[in-house]
Every structure is written in structure tokens, then in C-alpha cells.
Amino acid sequence: MTRGTTSGGGTELGRFLRARRARLTPTEAGLAAGAGVRRTPGLRREELATLAGISIDYYTRLERGKETRPSPQVVDALARALQLEDDEHEHLRSLAQLAARTVPEAPAPPSRTVRPGVKLLLESLRPGPAYVVSRTNDLLAANPGGLRLLAGIEEWPVRQRNITRYVFLHPAARELFDDWDNQIRGGVARLRALAGTDPDAPDLAQLAGELLLKSPDFARLWERYDVKGHAHGRKTFHHPEVGDLTLGYQNMLLEGTPGHRLLTYYAEPGTPEHDALVLLDLLGSQSSSERPTRTARSPADGEGRGESTSTTS
């Protein structure tokens, strides 16, 4: 089996090219409107091939997965023709490299273990909400404010707590995030990028399969094939316990882990937002201390092997 090829036929490289071609109009590409009715609003294969300076036959084989070894020059020409941004261009390069490789067997799911030092770091960031997520956005560890910020996620079994699942399927998420549409785009983009470079990942297949079935919004964004996430910025929350607050955030990759990331929120001391974070941290600490100690459960009840999302308090 060629890595990057799925049982449905084609390659991730071909799917990405097809998705981006469909989103670029002839006008945006600098082409004159042609005669006749267009079946899609995007570029035709022959138009993209012409813009990239390659033959139509070669491009067609590339998109259909019949050609899997495009040169770096062809990849760069396609990126220019499709007007890809830097992150998208790099993703296209990764897909091109992946298309020619083979993999002997499906990889094992990556470790969910969070090092004690990282948990100590979460504690040191209080009252700023902070949590650690896996490459597929599983919530692996959080400080009290980090868990409390995601209103209602504590209601879910520990193994079900995933940020992308939360924003699409938890009823509180649409009210919590002021920019819910932007929030869901960023989450899907990260998963789509992973699907392109590690299409056989079992942790991704399970999550994406679930959300494709349960969320039309996820299915729509999955087809768009955006691959650019957001590493920092500001978010506004409408929190049911501490009210409206706008926080800065920073997303950081944790070196030496299988794709784990640390996400932390912050506010200037002395501001109403910082006061709200202090209250949120207090509420989270109280909730953690009142929560009964859980014993190990079987995977059938949703908790896995007794694993829990640490609040480090």
C-alpha cells in the first residue's frame, strides 16, 4: 500500500490539489472567462496545468494518483498557480514527498503520557488557563482554570475529552466561543494537515470518522482542505460562570513529545479579564477537590484504563 493512498482511491496529494483547484476562480487566477457553462466555479484541470507550465495529461495523472513523483520544480509551480500561502505550500511539498513512500504496517497510536515537568509547568501558569493536547486535540492534562474554561467538558468521560469534538458536538461550545466559525476552521485545519502527512494514523481515523458522521459542519470544512491553523492571537469567550472576557493565547509545540501542544491563555494583571481568570481558577480548584476519586474502569465505560485528565491541583 502506498503511503498517502486510501482504500477509496487516489492520494492525499491528488485530493489536496483537487480541493484547492476548485476554490480558485479563473478571475482570481488572472484568466479571461471562457465560453460555455462551467460545471464548477473553480479552475479546470487544463487551466491549472497551463498556469503551472505542465502538460494536461501529466497534471491529470497527478491529481488521480497515477503519478506520484512530481519534481520539486513542479510542486513549486503548482503552488504558485494555486496561490498557496507559505503553510499550504509546505504542506503540498510534504504530500509530494509522502506520495512516493511505502509503509509496511499501520503505525501504533502515539503515547498520551504527559511528563511530570509539563504538569508542573501547567501549575505554574495559574491563574492563566492552560492545557496540553495531543496531535489530534485530545485533552491530556489541564490546570484548574484550563479545564473550567471549556464550559461543560467536565461532563464528558475523560477519554472523550477532545477539543475538536467539544467545539463541534458539545451544546455549550457555540455559546462559549464568540468566533465559533473561526474556532472550528482552525481545529479542522490542524486535523486535515495531519491527515495529509500521516493518513494511516489510527487516532485521527477514529476522530474524523466520528465527526464526519455526526457533524455536517465538520464534513463541510473537511472537504475544503484548509491546512493552516492559528498559533497565537486573541479569543473572546461568553463564559456562563465568569461572563464575557477577551484573552490572549499562545499555542506551543512541546519538543520531545509525539506532537503534544501546550495552549495557554493570559490577561494583563489588574484588568477585569485577569480578575475573571482568578475566579475561574478558584472555581476549577473547588470542583477538582469536590470530585470523588475515580477507580480504574474498563474501556467500555468511556474512560479507558483508568486514565484521567489531570488538573494538577
Strand order in the sheet with 232-239: 139-142, 130-133, 261-266, 243-253, 232-239
Confidence band, pLDDT 50/70/90 cuts, at residue 124: very high
DSSP 238: E
Q: Where are the alpha helices (DSSP H) in the chain?
A: 12-23, 45-52, 56-63, 72-82, 86-99, 116-124, 144-149, 163-169, 173-176, 180-197, 202-214, 216-224, 272-290
CA 51 to centroid of chain Cα atoms: 31
* Cβ-based neighbour number of residue 236 at 10 Å: 12
Kindly indicate the confidence band of residue 29, based on its pLDDT and cuts at 50, 70 and 90: confident
Q: What is the pLDDT of residue 3?
A: 44
Number of H helices, E strands in the chain: 13, 5
Euclidean distance between the first and final Cα of the chain, in Å? 47
Q: What's the confidence (pLDDT) of residue 167?
A: 94
Write the CB contacts of 272 (distance below 8 Å, at least 6 apart in sequence).
245
Most confident of the following: 36-45, 199-208, 277-286, 293-302: 277-286
Pick from 16, 41, 20: nearest CA to 31: 41
Q: In sequence order, what are the residues at sequence separation of 6 or more whose Cβ sits closer than 8 angstroms to the Cβ of residue 194?
A: 135, 136, 201, 204, 259
Given a cut of 90, whether residue 152 has pLDDT beyond it is yes
At 311 the pLDDT is 58
Res 226: pLDDT: 81
Under the banding of pLDDT at 50, 70 and 90, the label for residue 106 is low
Q: Find the range with the poorest average confidence among 150-154, 203-207, 302-306.
A: 302-306
**Average pLDDT of the chain, as a whole number:** 82
CB of 171 closer than 8 Å to CB of 152? yes
For the chain, give the percent of residues with pLDDT over 70: 82
Q: For residue 304, give the nearest of 104, 122, 162 by alpha carbon.
A: 162
For 196-239, write each residue's pLDDT tens digit: 777 667 788 889 889 988 999 999 998 888 877 667 889 999 99
Collapsing DSSP to helix, strand or coil, 95 comes out as helix
Contact 264, 232 (CB under 8 A): no
Distance CA 162, CA 148 (A): 14
Q: If pLDDT is split at 50, 70 and 90, which confidence band does 299 have?
A: very low
- Highest average pLDDT, of 68-82, 192-206, 263-277, comes from 263-277
